[in-house]
């Protein structure tokens, strides 16, 4: 019977001090959060207008303006508040907290008597509440605000937003469910949020409501088709009969492949995995395993991007992974991290944490400019200026990050993920001594991130992690028990991509033969003493990666990776016409540290490649001649930070 094997740690129990990630966490705290606050308050010129805070003022009757923005504009405020909560948990900031409290109070004033909260329908179409779940994102917005409420409560202890959102959740619970009005959310999010609310409040009805929404999806008669038939009006020109778009092609326990809008999909799967663990539902867990497997083994870009097409921002078919017309929304990679994290809870297995790491270091980070002020929605693996962003097929594939978007889901999503990174790094299984006297506590190190982790394991322990990862492969865990010793198992992931690694304990290399390694995790159970040092050394050669031959787009091509990082070629370093570049099969790949005024310090990859020289003919019996060229590859997440130009991940191999 499936159950949670480990649990997310509390955010503040792991304080990150890391040579790689602290930059991003500081960037979010110092730059991204204030920058996004200004945008939400319409205080920045030359940026796509947000109006999100103003919409709450209008809904609260405190401003006479017109509603402006997407039907889900409220969620931008919610995701920003969630990021603020995580940031406050990491480092107190009374002024920021005061401004957040003010916004929370405003949200409270925008809430309706009956608990309903949604500025679009309050201001624009009160008569249309709850009638278009397929398009109108009321449950989605509620879900994001619930997540913010839980986060803010956990970070500050303040219940105001939590109470507001409990009233909204109760309003929803009052309306929807078995024996009540039927409903299925068009854009999943409420499900995973209700599960968080359930754990924060202990109220079973939120668990049951989450389960209702999950169970109802894809059942007959299809809710969305019924709704569309009865409704008679549209917000968008949607097609409720497309039973992939909103993952309603089958009841969730029967689903076997990732389909439809990719963000919706992974938000659903995240909730499914979470629910499976909460209610010990093996059928749901098996469905999650199938969906995870299909997603990452058939429909995922090497960067952890998912969603191959702009049309419906959706999954397409197995192995259809075009690099240039790609969608790979930042939010979808973020959602994949959520999904993988929930799967890890049910089974600590590197197949989940490896994916989490892949998405984080590549497809998520690429969504943000290195200065934190520009964002990608779409994360291509091949960019061609003159076509990308211009020609219809490629119009969504921008060669340069914009400052903001009319549909601004991705920027605050990155902010909340980076500020809550701690919960993805570690997991814990603490067993009450009274009932599980024979079981030891286990601490899982999923990601290699420097910092100080404090846990109740073994009666209380602090683990200090030091690493230069991902640039180098040494990770040092120093164990500091609260008492003389701490009996617990330290479990450390060994990534599948790593073919050579070693562990040492107090500087004595451990015999690989004797190691207890299961599902890619070392399990080291001992009575830890003060200062015990477990050191992991991962070999980090530059690796040539080949796509499955079923991926049409990558036939004859190779990608370069080092550790978890995907590399790419940019025009800035390698000239234009990157399709003329070939990497000979026997060319040596070398990694070296370098520093760039814009990109900062990073490890580059150099290789002696070939460049085909075009002649005048369009078609010829003579293969083009080639000249040797030095190639300089940079980590994918850093692309698009310098001049606008070509970029390519998959390079011809010769």
Active site residues: 313, 409
User: Sheet of 426-429: strands edge to edge?
Assistant: 7-8, 426-429, 441-445, 485-493, 521-529, 517-518
Read off the DSSP letter of residue 385.
B
Three-state secondary-structure class, residue 273: helix
* Smallest separation (angstroms) from its own copies to the CB of 618: 5
| By CB under 8 A, residue 628 contacts its own copies | no
Q: At what angle do helices 138-156 and 190-201 cross, to 10 degrees?
A: 30
Residues 539-558 contacting its own copies, CB under 8 A: 543-552, 555-557
| By CB under 8 A, residue 652 contacts its own copies | yes
Residue (326 or 522) nearer to its own copies, CB: 326
The tokens describing 355, both together, are 């994916």
Cα separation, 288 vs 547, whole angstroms: 24
Cα separation, 654 vs 652, whole angstroms: 7
Residues 468-527 contacting its own copies, CB under 8 A: 497, 499
Residue (514 or 617) nearer to its own copies, CB: 617
Q: Is the distance from CB of 405 to CB of 430 less than 8 angstroms?
A: no
* Smallest separation (angstroms) from its own copies to the CB of 359: 13
* Smallest separation (angstroms) from its own copies to the CB of 316: 5
Residue (206 or 301) nearer to its own copies, CB: 301
The tokens describing 100, both together, are 């957040």
| By CB under 8 A, residue 128 contacts its own copies | no
Instruction: Tell me the torsion sign for CA atoms 79, 81, 83, 86.
Output: negative
Contacts of 94 (CB under 8 A, 6+ apart): none
Candidate residues 133, 302, 381, 633; the one interacting with its own copies per rule CB under 8 A: 302
| By CB under 8 A, residue 355 contacts its own copies | no
Q: Is the distance from CB of 636 to CB of 568 less than 8 angstroms?
A: yes
Q: What mask, x for binding its own copies by CB under 8 A, covers residues 261 to 290? A: ------------------------------
Cα separation, 172 vs 143, whole angstroms: 11
The values of phi and psi at residue 606, to 5°, are: -120, 150
Candidate residues 38, 241, 317, 506; the one interacting with its own copies per rule CB under 8 A: 317
* Smallest separation (angstroms) from its own copies to the CB of 361: 14
- Residue 59: closest CA among 74, 44, 42, 49: 74
Instruction: Tell me the torsion sign for CA atoms 229, 234, 235, 237.
Output: positive
Q: What mask, x for binding its own copies by CB under 8 A, covers residues 54 to 93? A: ----------------------------------------
Contacts of 100 (CB under 8 A, 6+ apart): 81, 84, 85, 88, 152
| By CB under 8 A, residue 393 contacts its own copies | yes
| By CB under 8 A, residue 296 contacts its own copies | yes
| By CB under 8 A, residue 387 contacts its own copies | yes
Q: How many residues bind its own copies (CB under 8 A)?
A: 55
The tokens describing 156, both together, are 């500050």
Candidate residues 229, 433, 613, 628; the one interacting with its own copies per rule CB under 8 A: 613
The tokens describing 376, both together, are 């990608």
- Residue 634: closest CA among 642, 624, 625: 642
- Residue 300: closest CA among 347, 335, 346, 349: 335
Q: Length of the chain, please? A: 654
Residue (239 or 282) nearer to its own copies, CB: 239
H or E, element range at 298: helix 282-298
Residue (515 or 550) nearer to its own copies, CB: 550
* Smallest separation (angstroms) from its own copies to the CB of 577: 6
For 312-325, b where at least 16 C-beta lie within 10 A, e where not — what string?
bbbbbeebebbbbb
Residues 562-591 contacting its own copies, CB under 8 A: 577, 579-580, 582
With contacts defined by CB under 8 A, name the span among 36-44, 293-301, 359-367, 453-461 that binds its own copies. Answer: 293-301
Candidate residues 513, 588, 620, 627; the one interacting with its own copies per rule CB under 8 A: 620
* Smallest separation (angstroms) from its own copies to the CB of 82: 32
With contacts defined by CB under 8 A, name the span among 103-111, 343-351, 434-442, 609-617 that binds its own copies. Answer: 609-617
Residue (497 or 523) nearer to its own copies, CB: 497
The tokens describing 329, both together, are 């929304």
* Smallest separation (angstroms) from its own copies to the CB of 236: 16
Residue (34 or 541) nearer to its own copies, CB: 541
**Contact footprint for its own copies (CB under 8 A):** 296-298, 300, 302, 309, 311-312, 316-317, 319-320, 322, 325, 384, 386-387, 391-393, 497, 499, 543-552, 555-557, 559, 577, 579-580, 582, 612-624, 652, 654
């Amino acid at each position: 019977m499936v159950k949670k094997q480990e649990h997310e740690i509390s955010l503040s129990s792991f304080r990150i001090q890391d040579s790689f990630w602290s930059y991003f966490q500081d960037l979010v705290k110092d730059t991204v959060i204030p920058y996004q606050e200004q945008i939400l308050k319409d205080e920045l010129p030359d940026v796509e207008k947000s109006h999100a805070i103003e919409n709450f003022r209008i809904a609260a009757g405190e401003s006479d303006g017109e509603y402006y923005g997407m039907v889900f504009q409220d969620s931008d405020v919610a995701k920003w508040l969630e990021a603020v909560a995580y940031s406050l948990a990491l480092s107190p900031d009374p002024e920021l907290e005061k401004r957040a409290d003010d916004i929370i109070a405003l949200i409270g004033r925008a809430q309706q008597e009956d608990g309903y909260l949604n500025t679009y329908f309050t201001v624009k179409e009160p008569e249309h509440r709850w009638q278009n779940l397929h398009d109108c994102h009321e449950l989605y917005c509620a879900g994001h605000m619930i997540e913010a409420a839980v986060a803010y409560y956990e970070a500050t202890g303040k219940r105001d937003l939590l109470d507001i959102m409990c009233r909204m959740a109760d309003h929803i619970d009052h309306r929807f469910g078995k024996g009540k009005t039927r409903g299925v959310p068009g854009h999943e999010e409420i499900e995973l949020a209700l599960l968080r609310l359930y754990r924060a409040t202990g109220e079973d009805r939120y668990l049951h409501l989450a389960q209702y929404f999950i169970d109802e999806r894809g059942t007959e008669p299809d809710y969305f088709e019924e709704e569309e038939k009865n409704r008679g009006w549209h917000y968008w020109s949607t097609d409720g009969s497309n039973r992939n778009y909103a993952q309603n092609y089958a009841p969730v326990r029967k689903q076997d492949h990732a389909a439809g809008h990719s963000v919706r999909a992974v938000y659903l799967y995240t909730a499914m995995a979470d629910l499976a663990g909460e209610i010990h539902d093996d059928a749901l867990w098996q469905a999650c395993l199938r969906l995870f497997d299909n997603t990452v083994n058939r429909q995922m870009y090497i960067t952890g991007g998912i969603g191959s097409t702009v049309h419906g921002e959706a999954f397409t078919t197995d192995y259809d992974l075009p690099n240039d017309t790609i969608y790979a929304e930042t939010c979808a990679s973020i959602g994949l991290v959520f999904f993988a994290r929930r799967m890890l809870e049910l089974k600590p297995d590197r197949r989940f944490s490896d994916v989490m790491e892949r998405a984080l270091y590549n497809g998520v980070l690429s969504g943000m400019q290195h200065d934190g002020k520009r964002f990608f929605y779409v994360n291509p693996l091949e960019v061609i200026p003159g076509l990308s962003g211009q020609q219809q097929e490629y119009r969504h594939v921008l060669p340069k990050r914009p400052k903001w978007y009319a549909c601004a889901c991705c920027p605050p999503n990155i902010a909340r993920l980076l500020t809550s990174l701690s919960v993805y790094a570690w997991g814990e299984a603490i067993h009450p001594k009274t009932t599980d006297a024979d079981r030891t506590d286990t601490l899982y190190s999923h990601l290699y991130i420097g910092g100080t982790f404090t846990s109740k394991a073994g009666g209380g322990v602090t683990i200090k992690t030091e690493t230069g990862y991902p640039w180098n492969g040494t990770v040092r865990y120093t164990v500091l028990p609260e008492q003389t010793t701490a009996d617990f198992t330290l479990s450390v992931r060994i990534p599948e991509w790593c073919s050579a690694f070693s562990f040492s304990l107090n500087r004595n290399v451990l015999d690989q033969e004797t190691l207890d390694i299961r599902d890619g995790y070392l399990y080291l159970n001992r009575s830890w003493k003060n200062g015990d040092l477990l050191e992991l050394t991962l070999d980090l050669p530059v690796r040539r990666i080949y796509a499955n031959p079923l991926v049409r787009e990558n036939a004859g091509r190779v990608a370069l990776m080092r550790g978890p990082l995907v590399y790419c070629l940019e025009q800035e370093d390698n000239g234009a016409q990157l399709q003329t570049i070939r990497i000979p099969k026997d060319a040596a790949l070398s990694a070296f540290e370098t520093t760039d005024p814009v990109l900062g310090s990073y490890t580059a990859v150099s290789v002696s490649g070939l460049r085909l020289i075009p002649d005048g003919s369009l078609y010829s019996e003579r293969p083009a001649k080639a000249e040797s060229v030095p190639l300089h590859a940079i980590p994918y997440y850093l692309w698009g930070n310098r001049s606008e130009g070509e970029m390519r991940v998959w390079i011809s191999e010769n």
